[in-house]
Structure 1
Amino acid sequence: MAFDSKKIVYIIVATILLAVFSFYLFYQFRFYVRFPELILEVPAGDMAISEPHIEIKGRIDTETVLTLNGRPIYIKETGEFQERINLGDGLNALEFEAQNKAGKITKIIRYILVK
């Protein structure tokens, strides 16, 4: 049985293309089925403070839109965000909502009591 070098090259190229295409499909599928990752460093949990403002800080997937109580939050290219938020006296609810391009949403709510 003689091996045709053209056939071998075609088989190798086709196998590589199939592997690359399969990896691409897997990556895209994974992106569409998972929820965006939202990590809040500050506030890490519900808290009571005496100042009428707080510096929020965290990380998020870079291809995600982040809002705080419906207002967009600027996200750096690295996925980090940081912003000073003014609060009212009493109990304040901070609702963080991250939405990726596939429409998947992650929500985190923090309650901040200003004394």
Structure 2
Amino acid sequence: MVAALFKRKKLTPPKRVCLCLKEARAKANISLEEISRKTKIDKKHLQALEECRFRDLPEAAVYQRNFVKKYIEALGLDPAPFLSQYDSEEKVNKKKKHPHCAIKENFLSQLPMFGKYFVMILVVAILAIYLIFQVRNIIEPPLLEVYSPQDGYVTSESVLPVRGKTDKGVEIYINGKMIGVNEQGNFEEKIDLNLGVNTFIISAKKKHGKVTEITRYVVYKDTDN
């Protein structure tokens, strides 16, 4: 009989403050839209508050506490007991929360921001490299290599091939006359020689006006005379 008198009763834990808020709003028959209008709090934050999704609210406890206060005041109720319950729950949550887990969670939550910064830095770096390349391409004179003839070359042939290489898109002139250049920048032109010293001024010209010049002197000797 004594055992029956002292029969243990299963204690029901108190409802969380977020659930109490939702019940209070239901009793007051007020919509979330109305609460949002009165409190100036976004509806999605109010919904997260009612569903105990505190992770979807601003992290600082002072903001969450203020949300609870404004919510209850919009219902015309005394916020004190609700805030007291919130403070109690917050203390329990802080004790449960491991510091290493907090650091890890905060780091993971910041990953999207790191990604944005990384993409921005990458785009800026690519643009900077592109601009440097373009400026360098404008201010630097074009490449010009003359493979043949060598300066001071002596020949008994009346026709001399002039061969060389330049940058892609560069125009080549020999003594002011433009000659053909292939897609790889290679050029070759056969020139008729005059007896004695022949002067060849080979010019490579960019669209923006930068010019590279090489001069070659070739001596043509007629062996028949």
TM-score normalised over the length of structure 1: 0.91
Report the equivalent of 2:151: 45
d(CA) in 1 for partners of 2:217 and 2:209?
26
d(CA) in 2 for partners of 1:14 and 1:101?
33
Shift of 1:78: 0.9
* 2:174 maps to amino acid: L
Higher helix proportion (structure 1 or 2): 2
1:91 has 2:200 as partner: no
> Counterparts of 1:1-115 in structure 2 under 5 Å?
2=106, 3-115=109-221
How big is the alpha-carbon RMSD for the aligned residues of Structure 1 and Structure 2? Answer: 1.4
d(CA) in 2 for partners of 1:72 and 1:96?
10
Q: How many matched pairs?
A: 115
d(CA) in 2 for partners of 1:51 and 1:89?
10
* Per-residue CA distance 1:21-60 (angstroms, 9 max, x = gap): 0110111121122111111110122212111110111111
4+ long deviations beyond 4 Å:
none
Higher strand proportion (structure 1 or 2): 1
d(CA) in 2 for partners of 1:66 and 1:77?
13
* 2:156 maps to amino acid: S
d(CA) in 1 for partners of 2:197 and 2:127?
51
Which one has the largest radius of gyration?
2
Report which structure shows greater RCO (CA 8 Å, sep ≥6). 1
* Per-residue CA distance 1:3-28 (angstroms, 9 max, x = gap): 33432222111011011101101111
Shift of 1:108: 0.9
Question: What SS is found at the alignment partner of 1:41?
Answer: strand
